[in-house]
Structure formats: structure tokens, C-alpha cells
Structure 1
Amino acid sequence: MSVEPLSPATLVTRLRAAGCVFAEDEAELLLATARHPAELAAMVERRVSGLPLEHVLGWAEFHGLRVAVDPGVFVPRRRTEFLVRQALAAADASRPVVVVDLCCGSGALGAALATALPLAELHAADIEPAAVRCARRNVAPLGGRVHEGDLFAPLPRRLRGRIDILTANVPYVPSDEVGLLPPEARDHEPLVALDGGSDGLDIMRRVALAAPGWLAPGGTLLVETSERQAPDALTAMSAGGLHARLVTSEELYANVVTGVREPS
């Protein structure tokens, strides 16, 4: 049975009625992605039911890349592009570097870094099997490897003391605030990618304490946090023995704490 094509105006109206703030932009993306009217109709139904746009499209735009994002996988946020920029500023693109992306989700950070650092040896890791499968789709074509497990545990032992750039976009929402997140995140993204414990910094502290044993001399750990959590995140980074500092972007409302292992 044929499906009547949705006009752009009708599509915008439906999306706006469902609460989509950027209905015009979303309509344009849906129209450009759907291969035929039936697929468009199905995509619209999934979107108005509350599924994140990126899960409906099957991809997200991140740092100039189109990153595959499967259902049930954390959607990379545009503010995290600021973390990528800070990581690139800390990297020496003229020589081979070891890059590790922990809590990698879709692998968006690793893919962005590998694209900008063609001499990089890239590793990524996540505890969620769905995220690992998705990340492999994004990272493997760039020569990277994705490992399944908790933080550093699945990484090859040979990387100890050799990591130049370590990104960890850890979950940092306090447990009692997860229920306040927008339904798109709360209902469709894995809890393990959102819940950061009582004050939101449980995972970040674990990473900061273990990082010095994995970083190369002069290597940098970068994590994203909230403005409210930044002072405690700096303290946690320093407690791990790293030289910590905070960099912010008012434009993206992004806060990144960096920690450098002092050169020996």
C-alpha cells in the first residue's frame, strides 16, 4: 500500500506539536535522510513518540563528521566538541601519538581525534556492548580499536605509561538528578552513560586516580563536567597527581578539566 508523501509544512507542524524546538531543522534532516515516503512516515512516528532525532536518523553530526548512533547508545553532544578542541590543542600532530577514548559511547570523540591526527594510534573502550558495537563502526575505518569493559580494564597492558591523549567523557549527572533529564535522554540513553553517582563525580574520580599510571610523561587527561562540579573535579584531578586546570566555553556552555602528568 502506497503512503501519501508528507509535505514539508505538514512535517514541521507535526514535529512542532510534539514539542520539537527546532522543528524546521529536524524536518529538513528527516526529508534529506528518508529514501521514500513510507520510510519518512516511520521516522516521523518514531521522532514524535520521543525517540532522539539522532537515533531516528541513525547518525549525529559531530566535529564535522557524520557519526553513526544506534538506538540505546549515548548521543554525542555538540558541547563535547569543545573537549575535542582542547585535546587537539594538547596533541602534537607532527608525530605518532597514542590516543585513548574511555566511556566512548558511539566513538565520536575518538573518531574526531583520529581524523585530525592521522599519525595517532587510537583505542576506545566502553562497558556497554551496544556502544562498543556502534563505536567499532565509527572507529575501525580509521584504524582504531574498541575494547569492551570497565574503564582501563580492557585496554592492552602495553599502553601503560604510553598514552599521550586520554579523553573520558564520563557520566556526570548526580544520581538523584537523572530523573530530571529530558525524556529523550532519560528514556532512550543507557543509565550507565548518564548516572555519575551521588555527586556526579564517582567515575571521574576513578579515572583521575588511575590515569597517572597510564599516561605518558607530559600526557593529558581531559574530562567534561558541569560548572557547579568544576571545583570538585579539579580537586579530584589534583588528588590523582596530575597538574589540573579548567577551561570553559561560554558559547557551547562547556567545561573541561584537564590533567597533565608532569614530565619525568
Structure 2
Amino acid sequence: MVSDLVARLRAAGCVFAEDEARLLVEAADSAASLETMVARRVAGEPLEHVLGFVDFHGLRLEVAPGVFVPRTRTGFLVDTAVSLAGSGPVVLDLCCGCGAVGAAVAAALPGCELHAADVDPAAVAVAGRNLAPYDGQVVVGDLFDPLPVSLRGRVTLLVANTPYVPTDAIALMPPEARDHEARAALDGGPDGLALLRRIAAAAPDWLAPGGHLLIEIASSQADAALTAYRAAGLDAWTVSDDDYGATVAIGRNPAIAAV
């Protein structure tokens, strides 16, 4: 039966058919549920949506249909944020999706204060469950709008995996992303940096003195991202990792804490 399942998945274009077959068999609680899951996958639905979970940065996190599936490369955003954490970190995960970045950062920084926000109520519902083990507070709304005023000026790590695909490039994305993830989680505007610019402009009001803003970008967007950061008054630089195939734009609030 498993060999037949692998053949069906391979015929549907699943590159890692053997691994996917194993995961589907493990997740199914009956022959009928297995068939339903396989049919969904063969029809092009992301494997993570079919399974109901994603393995990200050593964590197994819930995902749901329509919610953005975190990519492996975003582990570099997590690693970079953790490397910049000082004592008593206050973490804010914007455009949080299922809460993957916030959860992974919190798992590496026990006892941190964790907040997250997303404009999509479905994503926030999932993120709330994923961040519950870390006492994360998740709110729904546009970027900083729904956040408590008490958080202003206290954030030491502001992380965001914003949508950064240019609008005209959405049509070139793989169908399982283009057709099954929320458009708002993919479309970054004309050059892919619309959300980054909005976050950078407001970040100094929310960052603690010396606090850091970290946003995943495409390497080709580095110059424009740094321009946006510096226009907001942030010290700015980028870091990249060939193994992850990822680039992160970093901004630091140069403000000095009041004595």
C-alpha cells in the first residue's frame, strides 16, 4: 500500500514522495482519513496544511488551511535574533502568521516576554495556540495598531517575516503557495518592501534603546531595505547565510536609555 501511495504522490509532482507518504500514514487514524489526506495532497494542497502541522527550527507547530507555512530559511531570522538578545528580552513578532518565529525565539530564550500580531484572524487563532507554552500574547490587527501602549519603547527584539514577494511575481510562485496561502501573507507590494517600510518607520517608537529590528528579505532587496531603515533613524546592516539561503536586514535603535 505504501508503494502505491508513493507512486501517487510522485506522479503528482511531490519531490519527497517517500517522506511525505510516511508522514501521511503516521498522521492518519484510519484508511478513510488517509485517503482523504492523500487526495488533498495530490490536488496540490501544501503538505503542512494536510497534516495540520509544520516542523520548524526544532519545533512542531500547528498550521491550518490558508495560513502561511513557515519556510526552513526563516530559521536564520530566528538564529540572528537570538544572537542579539540581551538580558530580559522583550520580543515582538509582527506579521506572525502561525507564530513560528516568535515560538522559536522564545524556545531559545526561556523567560522572555513575548508578543505577536497579525492582520489575519485565522493566523492569530493558530498563533495563540502555538505561543501559549511561552505565555505569548497574540493580537489581531494591522502591524502596531492592536498592540498595548505599555509595550511602546520596551521591545528589545522586533522580528518580522513580512511578505516580500513583489506583486507582479506572485503569479510565478509555486501553486501550492500561490493558491493555498493568504495573498496578504505573500504580496509585498510593487517591490516587495511595502510592509518593511511601514514597520521600519514606526519601529523607533516601539524599540527600547539599543533594541533591534530584524526582517527577512531577498538578497536583491538589501540596498532598498537599508535605505528604509536609515531613513527611520536606525543603524542598519544586513547578514546572509548560504546554508539557509537567507538574508536578514537588521536595524538598531541608537537611542540611549534615560538615566
TM range (shorter): over 0.9
Residue 114 in structure 1 maps to residue 96 in structure 2: no
Residue 196 of structure 2 corresponds to 204
Question: Equivalent residue for 1:26?
Answer: 20
* 2:15 counterpart letter in structure 1: V
Aligned residues: 256
Q: What SS does the aligned partner of 2:179 have?
A: helix
Partner of 2:126: 134
Name the Cα RMSD after superposition: 0.9
Take 2:100 and 2:201, find their aligned partners in 1: how far apart are those partners? 24
Shift of 1:122: 0.4
Which of 151, 162, 165 matches 2:157? 165
* Aligned-pair CA distance for 1:162: 0.3
Match of 1:154 in 2: 146
Distance 1:230 1:32 in 2: 42
Offset at residue 41 of structure 1 (A): 0.9
Q: Gaps (5+ residues) in structure 1?
A: 1-6
**Residue 15 in structure 1 maps to residue 9 in structure 2:** yes
In 2: Cα distance, 1:239 partner to 1:79 partner: 27
1 CA distance for matches of 2:181 and 2:190? 19
Give the whole-Å Cα distance in 1 for the aligned partners of 2:72 and 2:186: 16
Structure 1 position 226 matched with structure 2 position 218: yes
SS in 2 for 1:89: helix
> 2:89: which partner in 1?
97
C-alpha separation between the residues in 2 aligned to 1:10 and 1:238?
56
In the alignment, residue 73 of structure 1 is paired with which amino acid? Answer: V
Describe the superposition over 1:118-157 as per-residue Cα deviations: whole angstroms up to 9, x where unpaired: 1211000000010011101101232011010000011100
Instruction: Give the secondary structure class of the aligned counterpart of 1:188.
Output: coil
Q: 3-state SS of the aligned residue for 1:38?
A: helix
Moved more, 13-22 or 113-122: 113-122
Partners in 2 of 1:239 and 1:13 — Cα distance?
54
The answer for the alignment partner of 1:45 in structure 2 is 39
Give the Å deviation of 1:263. 4.2
Distance of 1:115 and 1:227 partners within structure 2: 27
What percentage of aligned pairs have identical amino acids?
59
Q: 1 CA distance for matches of 2:212 and 2:16?
A: 36
Partner amino acid, structure 1, of 2:63: V
Counterpart of 1:124 in structure 2 is 116
Question: Could you tell me the TM-score, scaled by structure 2's length?
Answer: 0.97
C-alpha deviation, 1:211, in angstroms: 0.3
1:163, CA displacement in angstroms?
A: 0.1
Partner-residue secondary structure (3-state), 2:190: coil
- Give the TM-score normalised by structure 1: 0.95
Residue identity opposite 2:136 in structure 1: G
Shift of 1:25: 1.3
Supply the AA of the counterpart residue of 1:198: P
What is the aligned partner in structure 2 of residue 61 from structure 1?
55
Match of 2:76 among 82, 87, 90: 82
